[in-house]
Structure 1
């Protein structure tokens, strides 16, 4: 099972840039701060990331109720957090609060140190799960960037920096798209279809995830079957099948859905949420961080006599410029944006936020405890669990409890 996502933030100039002598307003984060970031309880970060992931999911699903949804909240929040390094005052606060950080409980420095450490840890090579994430800055050759901003992005986020000539937009676009394509193993060949003439800087973040199911499906058992788009329409899809699998499962009678966890070899798992026919919107509207926790705490290993799941490859392409303001991130898109910790002057604003994601699910890949009285745990083992209608997927890194991506499959074709 593979998931690949990339996000690009395109920054345009408001006026010709003039490099000032001003600094970011504080000393570069020290090694002591770095240590503090490492000690930051990972659950604080995971809680904010989960809140942001589900909030953004609701916005995207509401805009396209009958379409597939696939995105990486981690890739999006990583790029925006890096951007906040260059923001000041209310612009910076809007970004971080829009990412669901409570700035009265966690400092800006702790956020960056914790986030940087998380991304670094996720990128550590592992035999069983491949997670590759990284960031890059593409800076116009005529746009002066404060060295302190570049140093912080490199030190905290290992962001690479490249010089681009945005006066030659096609060449600059090719440079950026080739970089993203290379980092995502060709899965995302064109992050940007066009660049604005006034572009001064592009910030890119990518995330690639590849996992193998702990208990794989047998390709010989895959068969063609119906997937019901709604009560009247269906499509033929390749349906994977496995019999007699023991895996964490819970039935939520209150929300009319079944929840199944399939684990990968390594430190990741996938939560599959299957609403009853016609109940998708009910489940979506009730989706909160507490809902996910309730399900995870209630999962109990059960024998599924017959598990069926479609094999698919889907991709999505989002412009988030209209969506993020609905989460409170507004000023950075206007000419009132203060990104002066990037250039020393208020000469930049964000003109585009582009996110592309690809999700592949096939046969090879992708101790539970019960909670007390929140979800209703089914007392008999389910005979069949058939994902032959719209369902959701949440992929989580189990060590950090960070959501890597969220998806809704309304049509696997």
Structure 2
């Protein structure tokens, strides 16, 4: 296989991670005080605006590995339910947090993200290139990626952490009064705007010890290269895992597709847009093979092999029309992938974010997908909540009235020496 073909397959694999959850869909399985972003240098502008920028193969390989690891772990938690996730959204959000991790916590996140051998600088630059390469790839396909950081007012965040997230992830950074009753809706309005209204809430409440939310949003809308004819859509039986069947709208069409078949499954690629760069890949296990058995063979290595085997072939396709919403808290899955200490108040080290001891308190992930005759619309949001590991000082005004016996001391702040101490009971 030639070098150009290898690059093309790598790009397809990376883009397909966004839609990887589709494989599991068939399993009943007012903003305040915005911090201005620094103006990019001409070199940075050139990197952001060049959509043909070659994306690091190391990052693509890591993203593929992480995507399959995450998907496999989630399947074990939700057996018998629909699953639809965006590994790309989760990986980007974790990459932003990774910029503030230190010590064993940084090592743990790197393990979860399969970043062996990828430096922090290489990760950031590769994510910048990937975002530029993915966005708006076709006149008939829209793919938008947005990042934001919502910082509690008054918390001293490390400047390097904020600057890297602005420079490499285009993150909008907002200082927000977390005690304001409108703060939750302010964050959720950003989510709604950046998912075209498909996901309207990711933050439910704000805890007094919450100090930061890092949020990634991805929106995808692609028209099929060859739309399905609604007149050919018919109610047909769809067989569930438990053996029961229900009537469901099934779309049909015939033509030439990229197709691959083994004694275990059939696979087809349904392209979007004019240049067919993006596609939905559907893998259907044979009747003699259960979905669980298929997943046992699904690995990053077999995925790459199967994608390379797709060949043009005449045939017919029937797929269900569907629409679903999915949400999951990812702490359990990410802990299983090796980053448990990031959630542990005693072990977490995010000194690169702030001098205040913090941990990751939550990793919420929500998705939406609708597949119909015209194409596919999908959205994903990943929110990582950072919380202080000790009680935050109250910001409420205090009132001190010294009208009873009290203790006092005179102390040298540089050495800590107590020069005088006193108990005043009768001044």
TM-score range, shorter chain: 0.7 to 0.9
Q: Hey, what does 2:144 align to over in structure 1?
A: 132
CA distance in 2, matches of 1:189, 1:167: 21
Distance in 1, matches of 2:262 and 2:68, equals 18
Deviations 1:78-123 (A, max 9, x none): 00001111111221121122111113xx222111111122113323
Kindly tell me: are residues 165 and 261 of structure 1, through their superposed partners in 2, closer, same or farther at Cα, counting changes over 3 Å? same
In 1, the alpha carbon distance for the partners of 2:372 and 2:73 equals 28
**Residues 1:291 and 2:311 are matched in the alignment:** no
Structure-2 change in CA distance of 1:100 and 1:77 (3 Å): same
1:235 partnered with 2:246: yes
Q: Over residues 37-69 of structure 1, what are the superposed CA-to-partner deviations in whole Å (9 max), with x where a residue is unaligned?
A: x98753221111111111111111111111111
Alignment length, in residue pairs? 335
1:325 is the counterpart of 2:339: no
Q: 1:260 aligns with which of 265, 268, 272?
A: 268
What's the counterpart of residue 77 of structure 1? 91
| Corresponding residue for residue 175 of structure 2 | 163
In structure 1, the residue matched to 2:365 is: 355
Choose between structure 1 and 2 for higher RCO, CA contacts under 8 A separated by at least 6 residues: 1
1:57 paired with 2:71, answer: yes
Classify the secondary structure of the residue corresponding to 2:90.
Answer: helix
Residue ranges of structure 1 left out of the alignment (5+ in a row): 6-28, 367-394, 396-403, 406-413
CA displacement, residues 356-406 of structure 1 (integer Å, 9 cap, x when unaligned): 00011011115xxxxxxxxxxxxxxxxxxxxxxxxxxxx9xxxxxxxx99x
- 8 Å Cα contact 1:58/1:285 also seen in 2: no
| Correspondence 1:365-376 to 2 at 5 A | 365-366=375-376
RMSD: 2.7
**Aligned counterpart in structure 2 of residue 95 of structure 1, from 85, 109, 115:** 109
Contact 1:120 1:157 in 2 (8 A): no
5 Å matches for 1:37-56? 42-56=56-70
Q: Which has the larger radius of gyration?
A: 2
Q: Which sections of structure 2, spanning at least 5 residues, go unmatched?
A: 1-17, 21-40, 382-427
Q: 2:203 aligns with which of 189, 192, 196?
A: 192
Q: CA deviation at 1:201?
A: 0.6
Shift of 1:75: 0.5
**Could you tell me the TM-score, scaled by structure 2's length?**
0.73
Range moving further from structure 2, 60-69 or 39-48: 39-48
The answer on whether the counterparts of 1:248 and 1:299 sit within 8 Å (CA) in structure 2 is yes
**Equivalent residue, structure 1, for 2:390:** none
Partner of 1:399: none
Q: 1:145 aligns with which of 157, 166, 172?
A: 157
Q: For the Cα contact (< 8 Å) 1:338–1:346, is it kept in 2?
A: no
SS in 2 for 1:151: helix
